[in-house]
Structures are given as C-alpha cells and as structure tokens.
Chain A
Amino acid sequence: MFTFTLKKLGAGFVLLIAIPAIAFLLMGASAGNVGRNILGPAASNEQVERLNSELGRDQPLLQQFLDWGGRALTGDLGASWYTNEPVASAVVNRLPVTVSLVVTTTVLAALIATVAGVAAAVYRGWVDRTVQILAIIGFALPGFWVALMLALVFAVRLGWFPATGYIAFTASPAGWAQSLVLPVAALALGAVASAAQQIRGAVIDTLRQDWVRTLRSRGLSARRVLFVHVLRNASVSGLTVIALQFVGLLGGAVFVERIYALPGIGQVLSNSTAQGDIPIVLGVLIATTAIVVLVNLFIDLAVAFLNPKARQS
C-alpha cells in the first residue's frame, strides 16, 4: 500500500513539473515584445527595453525558464506583469471561490448521478429510459450554454437569483448558497448526465456477476446484496468517472465564473490570458494541475481501498 501511494505520488509530481514547464516554454517563445505590450505604444524604446530586462525577457528562453523554475521550486512564483500582485496571493485568494463551486457541484452531481444510475440499473423499464434520455440531453448541452440560459431565465427574466457576484461563506452562508445555486446547477447538469450513465452501466455489469447469485443463495436479501456488495464493487468505476468529471468541472468553471462574475481562478485565467500576463497564467495552471493531481491521488487511494486487487498493481 505504501509503495502504491508513493508510485501515484511520483506520477503526480511528474505531471506537476511537466505541465507548467511545457506551458512556460510554449508561452515564453510566443509572447512577443512583453515590455511593449505592457507599456503600450506611447512608451519610449528605452523604457520598453528597461522593463524587458527587469522581467528577464532579454535573456535566452532557456535561461528565463531556469530562473523561473528555480524560484518556483522555492515557492516564489513571481508577480503579475500588470498589477505587481504576487502570483501566489492572486491565486490563493481566488481559490476558495472555485473550490467551493467545483466541490459543491461534484458532491451534488455524484449524489444525484448515483441515485439515478442505480435506480435505472435496478428497476430498468421506464425509469431506465427516462434516465437515459435525460442523460443524453444533459450531456449534449454545453455547460456554458446552460449557464447562459439559466442566467437569462432565472436571473434576468424572473429575478429569483442574483445574476452575478459571489458572497463568501464566512460573510453570509445564505447569501453564499444563493450565489452558487445557478452556477452549480449549470455545471452539475453535464456532470450528472455522464456520471449517471457510467454508474448505471457499472451497476448493471456488477449485478450480472456470478457472486451476486451465490450471495443471494446464502439467504441474503436482494437489497442487502445491492447495498453492501454490488454498490461497493460498482463504486470503483463510479469514483473514476467522478474524478474525470471533476477535471471537466475545473474547465467549466472558467465559463461559469465569467458568466456569473464569480472571482475564482477561472476568471483570473481568462482575464490574464486576454492581457498576456504569463506569470499569473502559469500560477493558475500550477494550481489547477495540483488540484487535479491531488484529486486523482485521492481517488486512486479510494479505489485501492475499495478494490483489494488494485492495491497490488
């Protein structure tokens, strides 16, 4: 179990190093004259050159990368090229918004998808058909499209929810919940749809296993076999699909934060991308990759706990 965890940690670490490194080199190579972009057309060439050398942009790309990488390893991710705000604080301050959005959505989507998927697998018939049709529709409609439509109907037309803005949980729990209703609903639809389909399939496959019949032959009720044994076995693929959904939700958050004006890292990412503020973009990328690695590690450990066979490989 220990080597298993270590292996997964190692793989995650490689990802955490590789992704920002590749991004740095690609972005650095194509960023153009950063000093000119920041100072605008009115600045003199001397001013632009001075800024470029301050930012290290006059060095060869590889040197820039080594400088940046060396500082990044010590925890110093630099500062925004435009506002001078340290990257670490820019990201960390926005992280709670995105995390509360994505985690709430994941938990909610996992619950709904499990109930719907298990019901479809166990009852089949019309329950199954209804779940299937809803799942296809939910999958097909782009998350940001749903977000737009929900905003149009419930915030603009009906005015039931705030159209924009985020209220911190610590400021007002009720306000926090209300500000998250539409964003979470928009994000959850697609996640529920895919996860319900997968969970349905996993439960149907598990119910067909020979050992289900054998356990029933020992006098255990169908309900007990379902809840104790079948769900435990099916949960392995359930968790895997939820991990994938989580990654998808981080992407969806970029749109949803933009539409509902939530100050999360998705919004920071789209703003800094538009400006070409590379240090911030890299910071967001590192944070996102770290979250993905952590979630995958957590899921791997959970799967290993649930499936004794996986612990060995």
Chain B
Amino acid sequence: MTTTPLALEVDSTDQRRSLLKETLRSPIALGSAVVLVLIALAALLAPWIAPYDPSASDLSDVFAPASAEHLLGADSAGRDILSRLLHGARISLGGALVAVAVALLLGVPSGLVAGYYGGAFDVAVSWLSNLLIALPGIVVLLALQPMTGSSVWTSMVVFGILLAPSFSILVRSTVSNVRNELYIDAAKVSGLSDLRIIRRHVLGVVRAPIIIQTAMILAIALFIQAGLDFLGFGDLAAPSWGGMLNDGFANIFRGPHLLVWPGIVLGITCAALALLANSLRDVMEGATSSGTAGRGRRALVHPTEDAEDALPAPSTTALLEVRGLRVAYSTHGQEPKEVVHGASLRVEPGEIVGVVGESGSGKTQIALSVMGLLPDGGRVTGGELTFEGNPLDPRSTEKLLGRSIAYIPQEPLTNLDPAFTIGRQLVEPLRVVGGLNAAAARKRALELLARVGIPEPSRVFDAYPHQISGGMAQRVLIAGALSGDPELIIADEPTTALDVTVQADILDVLRDLQREQGMAILLVTHNFGVIADLCERVYVMRDGRVVESAPTRTLHDAPREEYTRMLLSHILEHGPSRTALDAEVAEEVRA
C-alpha cells in the first residue's frame, strides 16, 4: 500500500467521510447501507412499532398464516411473527455488536503494540492468535456453554475473545509494514512521542482495513449468535432470530413460513454487511491502484501534437526493425494512455545497439513490445515491428521467443521461479522448445552455466533461486537467454540491480559471448557508462520518443541534445544509483 505522509496529515474525519461518500456512490453499497440503517432503526424502535407484545401467545392463532391481523402470520405458540422479528433484531444485532466490540477492544490494541514494538509481546500475541484462530469457534463456544450459560451476552463476550485474533493479525501486519516507512522514522527523529505517532500516522493507515474487517466480522458474529439460538442454547424466553429459526425448524412440515421470515431477514442482513464491506474495499483498492498508476506514468503522458513523426525508410538488411511504434495502457474504465509515441529503431545482425534514457522514457516498453510481452493493459497501438524482414504479430513472435529472440531481465532474483531449481528452469525450455531429451538437456544446461562463468555448474544446477547471489542469478538468466542460440538478445538493464564489481563481470560475459557467437544485442539502460562500454550505436529516448541516435563515439564526442549531454555527464560519477539519477534527471528536466 502506498501512503504518503502528505495523505496522512489530512484531517482524519475528512478522510473517513470521503471513503464513506465514495463508497455510497455505488448503488449496491447505498442499498446495503439503507437496509442496515432500516434494520438498526427497527431494532431500536421495536417497542413502539411492533404491533403485539412479542411474547403474548394466542392459542387460537397457532401457525396462523399471514393475514391483516398478523401481517407475517403467527408461530407455534400463536405469537405474532412480525413483532418477534422486530424485537429479535435487538438480541441478534446487540449480541453481534457485543462480540465485535470485545474483539475490537482486544484485537486492535494488541495488534498495534505487537506490530509497532515487536519483541516478546509480538511473539506472545502471534502465538496466542494462531492458537485461537486454529479452532472452530462454534465448537469452543459449545464446549464452554456450561460456563457461559444461556445468556446471549456472556456467550458473545467469549465469542468476541475468539474473534479478536482476526483483528490482531490484521492490525499487526499493517502496522509492522508502516513501521518501517521513512516518515515514521522522520517523526521519531523530530521527537514525537510514540503515542502521538501512533495516533497521527499509524491509526490513519489501519483505520480503513479495520472498518472493512468489522463489517465482515459483524456478519460472522450475527450468524454465530443466531446459530447458538438456533441450536437451542440461547435464552428461549427472549425473542431472537435464531430462536425463531429453531421454532420454524422444529415445525418445518407444519409451518414452513415460520422458517422463511427470520431466514430472509438474517440472510439480507448478512448479505448487506458483506456487500458493504466489499464496496468499501473496492473503493480503497481503487484509490490506491489508480494512485500508483498515475504516479508511475505521469512522466509518460505527453501531448501528441507532433504525432506525425517522419518515419525512416524500411531497411533491407536489419535483423530487427521498429518503425513508428506506439504503445498505450488502458486501465479499467479510463482513457488509454499512450506511453510510446511513434519510436523507431533498427538493429543489424551481430550489432550491439543501446537504448538509453531516464526511467519512464519508454525504452523498456519498446523491448517488451518486440517480444509481445507487455504487462496487463498494455498494447501496441501503432507502428510496425519486423524481424528478419517478416512482420512481428503475436503468433509469429511466440514462435521466435526462446529460439531467435531471447531476453535478459533487470532484477535477477525476481526473474527466477522460486519454486523450481535453477536446473529445472533451464532444462524446461531446452526440452519443450528445443526438443532435447532429458539427458541431453541436462548436459546442455550445465554447459551453458559453465559458459557464463559459473565455477560449479552442477551445484548451481541443483540450487533453488533463493540459495544463490544476485550476480550468480544474473549469470543464470544469461545462460537461460543463450539456451536457444538466439540471433537477438534483448537485455533490459542487465546490470542495474548488481554491485559495481559484479556489473563489470556481467558486461564482460556479454561482450565475450557476443564476440564468440555473433548475436545482436539490444541493450536497454539508463547508464551511459554501460553503453559506452559495449554498444556501437545508441538511441536516446525521452518521454516516449527517440530524441537522438548516432554511433556511440559521435554521440559521446558531440551530443546534439542538451538531454543527451546531461545523461553523458553521469558517466564520470562512479556507478550512480538509479534512483539518484532519476531524481536528478527529473530535477534538471524541470529546471
């Protein structure tokens, strides 16, 4: 969840009001809220609006069907069903509220303290929570019945204790996530007391999840309360929905309508609670997801006034050619946003070509478009992609992947499936795509591992991804890219996530491989140092456009664009971190 300190400083009542307001815009949420308010009103006003005393029985009315006298009929003792429903709401809702209040009182503070301070208290709370949550609540409630007796309130207090872990676990995990955010440290450094930090910063973050959980837990408590009464463990004298269901069930053949009305009311209440909780969650998740999307792509939004860039003439020799590529992302119910606005580039066979630009300049989008592997919502909306003179479409691309086109990703450790050994992940494409048998695939995978400079191939072959280092993992990924003897390797920031010394090793591996095998490489990076080290030609990208392209030497000595000059100035600094660079780029672009 992304929460900025700014958002937290907003007055909390405002925030709460807007969440509610936003939620009630959905008709389902509004309907659910209205139903719940009506039911709560009915419970409060029952003594005044109920037509009869709920306990007054009239033997002449036993099992009476609905009539003007008894709107919903009468039960097995001739008592008015409507009046009993209205009064029953007091016990059913009241009991559920008691359970939820106890659960909140125990769960929220314990989760806050456990998540914020950690330590022995955290261990104890987590242990106790897991112990309680491991048991079926109703079984425990029944076992403790001799202690709680027939009182609704005592049983519901006990049930509240059993429900507390669901709040405690939720609050604990949310808080311990927030705990490590920078702004909490900042608040501590500036001398705010823990209590104040919790009130100002932490409660703001956990409030919404707690509200949603409360609605869910209320539904569960409501039905457990009704369930206890239904089983006959409640106070049989007082009217309750569960007790009415019990009466209806005992007379299921004589008076099915006894079962229908409390059943409908209970079903509607539980459904309204769950639907409301779900709408609240939708609003919350919608808010965060559109927020991140906006942030991530802000740099990419660009007016398309000069949409008709002059396209270069098609090349006859190129291995890969991209002409006038456009890529757009659409999120549900929103206008698609174009992030690449007609970019063109070309890679000749055996050539190493660089694409350089700040993050968000669209360079990775080009790489992913070539492979047809844009993330959800992204698609190519214009332009031409050709490989060896043949147009790339989804079907033809699929056939080229793993054979002619290979990919080296940026983050070595997140690009290996954690559930399988390195060996399995290398062998699988060799068998499925390359058609080798098991023994041959294994032999080839070990060769590939040795080829990328891994000292003990068989040990790495049997290792799981979490057992090897980042540099080692990147070598494994290069080995995987080589497995189909590709003519083109697309390398997306292949060294960014690595230590400076390992970066140099990986670049050496790439250079040596290219020299031996003569494949072309399309190298995407923000780092001009890497480009200068490897590439013959380079394209400079900014805001979804190619702004300059030239042989590396020329570009290095005489950049035409101010932006290129600025990117170049960063080679001198040794291994700038990507974020630092991005921040600087953004700074200078704005200036």
Contact = CB atoms under 8 A, between A and B. Distances in A.
Interface of A: 15, 18-19, 23, 26-27, 29-32, 136-137, 139-145, 148-149, 151-152, 156-157, 163, 208-211, 213-221, 224, 228-229, 232-233, 247-248, 250-252, 254-255, 258-259, 266, 269-270, 273-274, 276, 278, 281-282, 284-285, 288-289, 292-293, 296, 306-309
A139 B274 contact: yes
A308 B425 CA distance: 14
B416 interface: yes
Given A27-B144, A30-B146, A156-B253, A220 B266 contact: no
B401 interface: yes
Nearest to A282: B143
A219 B425 CA distance: 12
Given A142-B226, A211-B415, A285-B143, A152 B273 contact: no
Interface in B128-159: 131, 134-140, 142-147
B398 A247 contact: no
A220 B267 contact: no
Interface string B406-429: 110101001111111000010011
A220 B339 CA distance: 28
28 contacts: A23-B143, A27-B143, A27-B147, A137-B271, A140-B219, A140-B267, A140-B275, A145-B245, A149-B263, A156-B256, A163-B252, A211-B417, A213-B373, A215-B417, A217-B402, A217-B409, A218-B401, A218-B402, A218-B481, A220-B428, A220-B429, A221-B398, A229-B419, A252-B138, A259-B249, A281-B142, A281-B143, A282-B143
B272 to A, nearest CB: 8
A273 B375 CA distance: 57
Contacts of B231: 254-255, 258, 270
A296 B135 CA distance: 11
Given A208-B376, A220-B402, A214 B407 contact: yes
Contact of A210 (B131, B135, B143, B411): B411
A29 B376 CA distance: 60
Contacts of B480: 214, 218
B230 A219 contact: no
Interface string B480-506: 110110000000000000000000000
A21 to B, nearest CB: 12
Contacts of B481: 217-218
Nearest to B402: A219
Nearest to B242: A144
Contacts, number: 209
Contacts of A214: 407, 409, 415-416, 477, 480
9 closest A-B pairs by CB: A219-B402, A251-B136, A142-B223, A140-B274, A217-B407, A30-B147, A219-B433, A218-B429, A251-B138
Contacts of A18: 131
A309 B416 CA distance: 13
A27 B135 contact: no
Contact of A306 (B245, B270, B419, B428): B419
A306 B232 CA distance: 44
A248 B483 CA distance: 48
A208 B415 CA distance: 11
A220 B376 CA distance: 18
B144 A140 contact: no
A292 B275 contact: no
